[in-house]
């Protein structure tokens, strides 16, 4: 064995050791009977941080909820469900083989690839692969692509933002700004960001999207968390910066923005929770980078789109209050164009409206910040479709279907923004 192969083997062994295998973690499918029970699950989700994602809906037509439960927490959850009369079944007895199979699918699919061009449909890529790919685009399209490191993550990963133009040399066009991977485990989001990049650079039919607008794309905001989902713990959501409580790591970037930060209805001050807002607004370097990037484009931000999963939603501001921004109906028309285009192409159903009303209150999220403090005319948080057992974990074989459908929606929304002219 050559020494290089030996080193690779050691590295592989090391990643296997670090890997959280989710042995005996169960996936429960809950069937709330009515709206009251759905609300109850949302409340339980808030009160009991150990049960992740009780409130999340898979799609408009599916009223069931799925939840990941650690072996030591199963009994307590079952008791709660029985107490409230909520029906459930055990969908998966042990998540470990599923996580293993998905990891194997992804690694073997990547091993087969021979070109430097990222094949979006063939695998999920980690942070360094995505950065390397963006670097290669600068070489390939020197007149159309700019890549800037806007800052570094807590663990010192370069946070890169790509600007795509049509190369006509016109400066300061209005901007369509897209970010992805604020939440680490939402793997379909960076894949979709990469697909959008390829559509804009490689497909001549999309030239209309670049005539009077530049596209600014940040595929991985939460670089440390995302890397951690590849190397250690597939369902990690937050950043990786320690909190004041030693056993709890990470902050939710989407509660860490400094507009209406700190409201208990839409975020948590408890580092144990998945929606922990941090000790101070913007105390996460990743939030600072996204803030600075949005402020950089402040007076030409025609459309801010934040890619998340899951649930098939186009969420508009506000998240922090039940009232609506001044141009809410303008934003609704943009969302309507996206939802209609998707239903016509695949029958996919998206719900759209204010995040507060459609999903749950959020305070300190990027969407509200973009509108309130970075003057975005339109801001939409797009919750892409669910996949896999938990919604965040589509199989590689499902990437193509999800990203091609989503592109139909994003293209239609961008065209709607463009046809109305930047206002």
Q: Does 251 bind ligand 0X9 (CB under 6 A)?
A: no
Beta bridge partners of 87: 31
Reference 79, options 100, 48, 108; nearest CA is 48
Q: Does 365 bind ligand 0X9 (CB under 6 A)?
A: yes
Q: Which is nearer to ligand 0X9, 32 or 214 (CB)?
A: 32
Q: Please select the residue that binds ligand 0X9; options are 199, 362, 363, 406, rule is CB under 6 A.
A: 362
Beta bridge partners of 314: 352, 382
Nearest distance from residue 49's CB to ligand 0X9, in Å?
14
Q: Are 30 and 66 spatial neighbours (Cβ–Cβ below 8 Å)?
A: yes
Q: How do 65-69 and 26-31 pair as beta strands?
A: antiparallel
Nearest distance from residue 110's CB to Zn ion, in Å?
24
Spatial distance between the Cα atoms of 386 and 312, rounded to a whole number of angstroms? 8
Q: Which stretch binds ligand 0X9 (CB under 6 A): 91-99, 141-149, 155-163, 358-366?
A: 358-366
Nearest distance from residue 260's CB to Zn ion, in Å?
18
Give whole-number Cα distances, 385 to 167, 186, 392, in Å. Answer: 33, 10, 9
Positions that interact with Zn ion (CB under 5 A): 183, 308
Q: Which is nearer to ligand 0X9, 55 or 348 (CB)?
A: 55
Nearest distance from residue 80's CB to ligand 0X9, in Å?
22
Q: Please select the residue that binds ligand 0X9; options are 338, 348, 355, 364, rule is CB under 6 A.
A: 355
Q: Does 409 bind ligand 0X9 (CB under 6 A)?
A: no
Q: Does 254 bind ligand 0X9 (CB under 6 A)?
A: yes
Q: Which stretch binds ligand 0X9 (CB under 6 A): 12-20, 239-247, 281-289, 352-360?
A: 352-360
Spatial distance between the Cα atoms of 110 and 117, rounded to a whole number of angstroms? 12
Q: Which is nearer to ligand 0X9, 133 or 350 (CB)?
A: 350
Nearest distance from residue 338's CB to ligand 0X9, in Å?
16
Binding to ligand 0X9 by CB under 6 A, coded x per residue (else -) over 298-327, reads ----------x------x-x-x--------
Question: How many C-beta atoms lie closer than 10 Å to residue 11's C-beta?
Answer: 10
| 196's tokens | 């959008």
Nearest distance from residue 5's CB to ligand 0X9, in Å?
40
Q: Which is nearer to ligand 0X9, 130 or 221 (CB)?
A: 221
Q: Please select the residue that binds ligand 0X9; options are 276, 356, 369, 389, rule is CB under 6 A.
A: 356
Which residues 6+ apart lie within 8 Å of 241 measured at CB?
154, 224, 249, 250, 251, 284, 285
Q: What residues between 160 and 189 interact with ligand 0X9 by CB under 6 A?
A: 183, 186
Q: Which residues are catalytic?
A: 383
Query: 231: part of which helix (H) or strand (E)?
Result: helix 223-231
Residue with tokens 């061009």: 117
Q: Does 234 bind ligand 0X9 (CB under 6 A)?
A: no
CA 262, chain centre distance (Å): 22
Q: Does 406 bind ligand 0X9 (CB under 6 A)?
A: no
Which residue lies nearest ligand 0X9, judged by its C-beta? Answer: 355
Spatial distance between the Cα atoms of 348 and 122, rounded to a whole number of angstroms? 22
Q: Are 312 and 391 spatial neighbours (Cβ–Cβ below 8 Å)?
A: no
Nearest distance from residue 336's CB to ligand 0X9, in Å?
17
Binding site for ligand 0X9 (CB under 6 A): 183, 186, 254, 308, 315, 317, 319, 355-356, 359, 362, 365, 367, 381, 383
């Amino acid at each position: 064995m050559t020494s290089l192969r030996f080193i690779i083997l050691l590295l592989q062994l090391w990643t296997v050791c670090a890997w959280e295998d989710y042995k005996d973690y169960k996936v429960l499918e809950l069937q709330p009977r009515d709206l009251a029970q759905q609300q109850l699950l949302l409340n339980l989700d808030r009160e009991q941080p150990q049960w992740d994602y009780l409130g999340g809906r898979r799609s408009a037509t599916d009223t069931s909820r799925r939840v990941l439960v650690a072996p030591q927490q199963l009994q307590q959850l079952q008791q709660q469900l029985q107490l409230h009369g909520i029906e459930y079944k055990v969908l998966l007895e042990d998540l470990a083989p599923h996580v293993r199979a998905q990891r194997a699918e992804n690694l073997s699919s990547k091993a087969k690839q021979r070109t430097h061009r990222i094949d979006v449909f063939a695998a999920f890529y980690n942070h360094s692969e995505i950065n390397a790919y963006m670097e290669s685009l600068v070489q390939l399209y020197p007149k159309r692509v700019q890549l800037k490191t806007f800052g570094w993550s807590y663990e010192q990963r370069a946070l890169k933002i790509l600007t795509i133009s049509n190369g006509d040399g016109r400066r300061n066009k209005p901007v369509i700004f897209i970010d992805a991977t604020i939440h680490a485990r939402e793997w379909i989001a960076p894949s979709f960001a990469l697909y959008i990049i390829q559509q804009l650079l490689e497909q001549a039919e999309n030239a209309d999207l670049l005539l009077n607008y530049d596209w600014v794309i940040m595929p991985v905001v939460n670089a440390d968390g995302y890397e951690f989902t590849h190397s250690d713990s597939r369902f990690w959501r937050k950043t990786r910066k320690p909190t004041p409580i030693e056993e709890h790591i990470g902050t939710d970037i989407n509660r860490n923005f400094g507009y209406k930060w700190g409201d208990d209805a839409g975020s948590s001050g408890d580092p144990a929770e998945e929606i922990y807002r941090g000790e101070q607004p913007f105390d996460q370097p990743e939030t600072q980078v996204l803030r600075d990037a949005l402020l950089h484009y402040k007076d030409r931000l025609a459309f801010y789109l934040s890619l998340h999963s899951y649930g098939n939603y186009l969420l508009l501001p506000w998240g922090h209050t039940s009232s609506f921004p001044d141009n809410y109906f303008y934003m609704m028309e943009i969302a309507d164009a996206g939802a209609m285009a998707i239903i016509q192409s695949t029958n996919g159903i998206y719900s759209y409206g204010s995040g507060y009303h459609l999903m749950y209150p959020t305070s300190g999220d990027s969407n509200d910040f973009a509108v309130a403090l970075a003057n975005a005319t339109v801001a939409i948080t797009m919750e892409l479709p669910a996949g896999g057992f938990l919604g965040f974990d589509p199989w590689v074989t499902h990437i193509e279907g999800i990203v091609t459908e989503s592109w139909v929606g994003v293209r239609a929304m961008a065209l709607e923004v463009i046809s109305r002219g930047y206002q």
